[in-house]
Amino acid sequence: MRRPRAAAVVPLLLALCAAAALGSVLGSGPAGADEVAPPQEVVAGHVLRPLPLAGRHVVIDPGHQLGNARFPAETARLVEAGGFRKACNTSGTATDAGYAEATFTWEVSRRLAERLRRAGATVMLTRDGDSPDRWGPCVDERGTAGNADGADLKVSVHGDGSYAAGAHGFHVIAGDEASLRVAEVLRGALEDAGFARATYVAGGDGLDLRTDLATLNLSQMPAVLVELGNMRDAGDAAVMTSPAGQERFASALASGVRRWLR
């Protein structure tokens, strides 16, 4: 038998390689045709790796709304809170200089959402802006947000307003033991970012277990509420009102979310 000449072998090898490469992209049969590749990070046209939170769904709840105080009848309406009823919402606290908790929570939440989306997550925000002409949503809506979509995690962002002498620092609140494990992870991420545990609540360990919060009680996924600092403390307020400080909070929370969902 005559052997094929080298000149004829080279084109044949190239064709076989091209077919193999095409098969790896398209899949080898019906099963491969139905598969959807996870979102991937692309830099300068090159695919680097699958995004770490691809396929994950996170609900972020920016506490309060800037206009709540202007709608007392609406926010005082009683709603379901998990076996009992409580007011739809409140106006929240503020710094001594008047910087509203609602604005702080919105600024941190939108930064957090951006970071999580860049990591591949689907993110739902319970409100879409910070307006003095708007109120709500009520705590029952915040609590049920994401339930129908099978969300993986809910993080409710808040600032505290204690007048206790020297009160400062953050703490993380959970509504049950399962969510308390999430709270521990977020506590670690905030500490790694240089934030101090609260000195005035939760026994100084930065964790609290409460059953009176509708946002946690009505969530069908692990859910935590983070009090990122005491807005009545001058030191905490300086960080909480600065864009750089808000970026630090968002970065720390994003790190914690990634640790939990990895």
Average pLDDT, the chain: 87
What residues have CB less than 8 Å from 67, skipping those under 6 apart? 131, 132, 133, 134, 135
pLDDT at 3: 44
Strand duo 46-50 + 40-43: pairing: antiparallel
Q: Please report the pLDDT score of residue 30 as a whole number.
A: 35
In order of 59, 102, 198, the CA distances from 213 in angstroms are 16, 17, 19
Residue 50: the pLDDT is 83
At residue 152, φ and ψ (nearest 5 deg) are -85, -25
pLDDT of residue 146: 98
Active site residue 114: no
Task: Please report which helix (H) or strand (E) contains residue 89, including its range.
Answer: none
For residue 137, is the peptide bond before it cis, meaning its omega torsion is within 30 degrees of 0? Answer: yes
- pLDDT of the residue at 40: 58
- Phi, psi of 207, rounded to the nearest 5 degrees: -125, 145
Active-site entry in 107, 191, 227, 247: 227
Q: List CB contacts of 250: < 8 A, sequence separation 6 or more.
A: 108, 109, 111, 112, 114, 115
Per-residue confidence (pLDDT) for residue 49, from 0 to 100: 72
Lowest mean pLDDT among 7-21, 99-113, 181-195, 227-241: 7-21
Burial of 25 (0-12, 13-18, 19+ CB in 10 A): exposed
Dump pLDDT digits (tens) for 33-82: 333 445 655 555 555 678 999 999 999 999 999 999 999 999 999 999 99
Distance in angstroms (rounded) separating the CA atoms of residues 245 and 170: 13
**pLDDT tens sequence across 189-217:** 999 999 999 999 988 999 999 999 999 99
Rg, the chain, Cα only: 24
- What is the CB neighbour count within 10 angstroms for residue 112? 26
